Amino acid sequence: MIIHLYERTSFHYRDAYRDLDSEEYVGEVKLLGGRVTREPRDFDDGGVRTHRVVAPSPLAGRDLTRAINTHFTHSGCTHDWDCCGCASTYATTKRVSKREYVVSISTSYNY
- pLDDT tens digits, 1-49: 999 999 888 888 777 777 788 889 999 999 998 999 888 898 888 889 9
Rounded-to-5 percentages of helix, strand, coil across the chain: 15, 50, 35
- Whole domain around residue 25: which residue ranges? 2-109
Could you tell me the pTM of the whole model?
0.82
- In the chain, how many domains are there? 1
